[in-house]
Amino acid sequence: MTNMHFPVSFKLSSGGLFYSILTRLHIQESGRYSTRRRIFVLTTLCWLPLFLLAAYEGNLISHQLDIPFVYDMKPYVRFLITIPFLIVVDELIDPLIAGNLQGIGSSGVIGEADENTYKKAVERFRSGKDSYLADMVILVVIAIMVILYLVNLEDFAADYDRGHWAITRENNASQLTYAGWWFVLVSSPLLQILLFRWFWRFYLWAGFLFRVSRINLNLQPTHPDMAGGLGILKNGESSFILIFVAFGAMLSVSLADQMRYGDMTFTLAQYYIAGYIGASILIMTLPLVFFTGQLIQAKRRGRLVYGDLGYRLSEAFDRKWGDPEDKSSGEELLKTADASAVCDYSDVYDVVREMQYLPIRMKDFAAQAFLLVMPFIPLIFIKIPVTVVIKRIFESLI
């Protein structure tokens, strides 16, 4: 059995251009999460100028606008909920991924002959998360998105007859307010950086799992995790659901906006929600499919080996205790461990028979779906006012 060790200080959230910039600006201390400081600085930088600029321009609580700033849920959800959530996620995902690296390396799943191959996979994983190039590509993508938004500003403004706190119409032309410019050039890009960096890291994790799946793993069909010893992977894989929950919150508030001020119906929104949840679960599950081939082979081998062993054990038990003429066999059986051995073997064979082709169980999918649906629950109160819901609950208690 191998005994490779990787430092639990491996932090998937660290490294890269943005991490270096935050460190140089003392917003984040090197080697530490500095969670409170980052939340305070980034939420203040993204939300407070919008509030102050909207107030300066008279768009804070203006009845002349379709959506004044105070009544627009997007800035609150994106910058006061999603950004802090994405920052806290660092401390939640990092130990799970580090534990996965340590667990795979020391469990014996990796044979001694493949230790160097596994170490190279880990180092490639590490170099990917530390890459400045990836962050530069993210900046280019965000810049393209900003340009496309500005080019299509008329299309976005067409949804609001009387204007929006970020977009006004003057001289038959749509233009951004001061708050709108800050939203497009500062607030949204900062949120997108946090989100896209985690999508990039999920891609790195998927690539790491692919390289590990190319190794000839020592999978044990009798392992109690029902996945040959790979059950630990679901801890790291499931942790990324937090990123999809954060994106789901952004999608939810966009749907809410269209339901309140557009032609989006609750029925149509359900299709978007179901599609998003299904796509998210599929994306998170795909990296685990890389191991399906080896799991199938391990289960096939286990059923062959332990099926043959079970037949020989049953045959031996039957020869010894299956004589109907032996009246003392029952009493003697109580004095031996033969029956216990057969029962223990049955439990072992049940594990082999129930071995899965993915290192994740159906109940894990159910848990993922439950978490993913949480950001969309507030949409119910757009269709049914919260006062009506409270009234119905109160009436049911009387």
**Cα(398)–Cα(395) distance, integer angstroms:** 5
- Diameter of the chain by CA atoms? 107
pLDDT tens by residue, the chain, 398 residues: 445 555 456 889 999 999 999 999 999 888 888 899 999 999 999 999 999 999 999 888 877 888 889 988 999 999 999 999 999 999 999 988 988 888 888 888 898 888 899 999 999 999 999 999 999 999 999 999 999 999 888 877 666 666 788 888 777 778 899 999 999 999 999 999 999 999 999 999 999 999 999 999 999 888 888 888 888 888 787 889 999 999 999 999 989 888 887 788 888 889 999 999 999 999 999 999 999 999 999 889 888 887 777 777 777 767 665 666 665 555 665 556 555 676 767 777 787 888 888 888 888 889 999 999 999 988 887 766 666 666 666 666 66
| pLDDT of 147 | 94
**Which residue spans within 318-385 are E strands per DSSP?**
none
Angle at 313 between CA 310 and CA 318, to 5 degrees: 120
**Cα(79)–Cα(397) distance, integer angstroms:** 38
Distances (CA, A) of 28 to 33, 125, 246: 7, 23, 22
| Nearby residues of 179 by Cβ (< 8 Å), 6 or more positions away | 49, 50, 53, 54, 57, 59, 69, 165, 166
Give the domain ranges of the chain. Answer: 17-291+358-383, 299-353
In the chain, what is the straight-line distance between the N-terminal and C-terminal CA atoms, in Å? 65
Closest CA to 280 of 202, 219, 356: 202
Query: Using an 8 Å Cβ cutoff, are 57 and 177 in contact?
Result: yes
Residue type, 363: K
Closest CA to 240 of 377, 356, 364, 124: 364
Closest CA to 8 of 86, 103, 89: 103
Query: Using an 8 Å Cβ cutoff, are 89 and 242 in contact?
Result: yes
| Nearby residues of 26 by Cβ (< 8 Å), 6 or more positions away | none
**Cα(180)–Cα(201) distance, integer angstroms:** 30
**Cα(93)–Cα(243) distance, integer angstroms:** 10
Distances (CA, A) of 284 to 86, 107, 356: 18, 24, 17
pLDDT tens digits for 222-269? 888 888 888 888 878 788 999 999 999 999 998 988 888 778 888 888
| Nearby residues of 380 by Cβ (< 8 Å), 6 or more positions away | 266, 389
**Cα(34)–Cα(30) distance, integer angstroms:** 9
b/e for 114-141, b at 16 or more Cβ within 10 A? beeebeebbeebbebbebeebbeebeee
| pLDDT of 234 | 82
φ/ψ of 231, rounded to 5, equals: -60, -25
**Cα(287)–Cα(393) distance, integer angstroms:** 43
Question: Which ranges of 130-187 would DSSP assign to H, the alpha helix?
Answer: 132-151, 153-157, 178-182
| pLDDT of 1 | 44
Report CA 251 to chain centroid distance, whole Å: 15
Q: Give the tokens for residue 317.
A: 């038990």
